[in-house]
Amino acid sequence: MEQVVQQIVNGLALGFIYALIALGYSLVYGIIRLINFAHGDIIMVGAYVALFSYLILGVGFVPALLIAMVTCSLLGVTIERVAYKPLREAPRIAALITAIGVSFLLEYGFQLFFGPQQRAFPEFFKTHHYKLGILSVTNEQILILSIAVVLMLLLNFIVMKTKTGMAMRAVSFDKDAARLMGINVDNTISATFALGTALAAAAGMLLGLYYQQIDPLMGFTPGLKAFISAVIGGIGSIPGAMIGGLVLGITEVLVVSLGYSTLKDGVAFLLLILVLLIRPRGIFGEKVVEKV
């Protein structure tokens, strides 16, 4: 019993990181209907930017986080303008392939320039273990949880209460109608990318903190898992992404603790397929009426 509870605590930290990435996926997918495969690699870029700003500028945790978020949102907007915008009217497959291309470009570009080896991630804090009754919790886990929650609340505020957020919702609902209402669709899409990639960068930094080492291929798996979380929770929904991330994180940890660690990824995909078959719109997703 004690072990199961401990496992769930471990799963929570992982789940919150998934949730953070899933939010970015969900935002981008909601607005241009594109699985941004490169989203996972933005995580990696974010972690590297944080590492280098620590090594070169010697900054602390919060400035490194902010630098990573800003740099990555610029990168995200650039990627959107250069690679995805020309394909907005093209078949979906074309855009998806381009996204795979961008993902590879980031991964192998970083391998070429920064080497394929793992790098130690700076310990911004000394790890402490807190005993909460039978449980052991680290300050890193608490930090991950709190940063994730703060960012999610912030995102919810932006999307729900600001003008840009309203524009985003309008564009994702109906691009043409939004344009007719005087919304600058291009800028809104760019803003969405900026937000989504900033979240990914934060997630990258948290992952670096959690694992204490980073490498150019670190983003792919969490990226994929996050997409699955987003789908499970219902794409386009903020609470959905969060719940999806947590569900996946905890499921994975439980599968491993039952002794089936090799089947972990299989279970994740199985969960995805099941959700898609039973409730294609996900837990919180809105029903989409197909237009002819």
Partner 1 sequence: MKLNFSERKGVFILSKRLLVLITVFALVFSLSFAGCAKKEGAKEETKEPEVIKIGVVTPLTGDVATFGQSTKKAVEMAVEEINAAGGVLGKKIEVVIEDDRNDPKETANVVRKLIDQDKVVAIIGSLTSKCSLAGMPIANAKKIPMISNASTNPKVTLTGPYAFRVCFIDDFQGQVMAKFAYEELGAKKAAVLYDIGNDYTKGLAEYFVKSFKELGGEIVAEETYQQADNDFNAQLTSIKGKNPDVIFLPDYYQKVSLIAKQARGLGIKATFLGGDGWDSPELFKLGGEAIEGGYFSNHYSQQDPDPKTQEFIKKFEEKYGEKPDALAALGYDAFYYLVEGIKKAGKVDSVAIRDGIEAVGKAGFSGVTGKFTIDENRNPIKAAVVLKVEGGQFKFVKRVEP
Partner 2 sequence: MIEQLLSNFMSSYQIQILSFIGIFTILAISLDIINGYTGQFSIGHAGFMAVGGYVAAYLTFYHQVPFILATLAGALSAAFFGLLIGIPTLRLRGDYLAIATLGFAEIIRVVLLNLDVVGGARGFAGISNLSNFDTVLIITIISFIVLYNFTRSAYGRALQSIREDEIAAECMGVPTTYFKVLAFVVAAFFAGIAGSLYGHYLMFLHPNDFGLLRSIEILLMIVLGGMGNLWGALLGAIVLSILPESLRNYQGIVYTIAVVYLVGVAISYQKGKQNIARWLAGILIAGLAVGFILIYGKELIIRYAGQMRMIIYSILLILMMIFQPSGLIGLARDLAKPLKERLRGVKA
Residues that bind partner 2 (CB under 8 A): 29, 33-35, 83, 86-87, 90-98, 100-105, 107-109, 111-112, 224, 227-228, 231, 262-263, 265-266, 268-270, 272-273, 276-277, 280, 290, 292
Let me know: does 140 contact 131? Beta carbons within 8 Å: no
Q: Which of 138, 158, 166, 281 binds partner 1 (CB under 8 A)?
A: 138
Q: For residue 85, how many C-alpha atoms fall within 13 Å in the half-sphere facing its CB?
A: 14
Name 13's Cβ contacts closer than 8 Å, sequence gap at least 6. 140, 141, 144, 145, 210, 249
Q: Does 164 bind partner 1 (CB under 8 A)?
A: no
Percent helix, strand and coil across the chain, each to the nearest 5: 75, 5, 20
Closer residue to partner 1 in complex, CB, 61/210:
210
Closer residue to partner 2 in complex, CB, 157/269:
269
Q: Does 129 bind partner 1 (CB under 8 A)?
A: yes
User: In sequence order, what are the beta bridge partners of 240?
Assistant: none
Let me know: does 209 contact 197? Beta carbons within 8 Å: no
Q: What part of residues 206-265 is at the interface with partner 1 (CB under 8 A)? A: 207, 210-213, 215, 217-218, 220-221, 252-254, 256-257, 259, 261-262, 264-265
Let me know: does 131 contact 237? Beta carbons within 8 Å: no
- Point out which residues bind partner 1 (CB under 8 A): 3, 6-7, 10-11, 14, 111, 116-118, 120, 127, 129, 136, 138, 207, 210-213, 215, 217-218, 220-221, 252-254, 256-257, 259, 261-262, 264-265
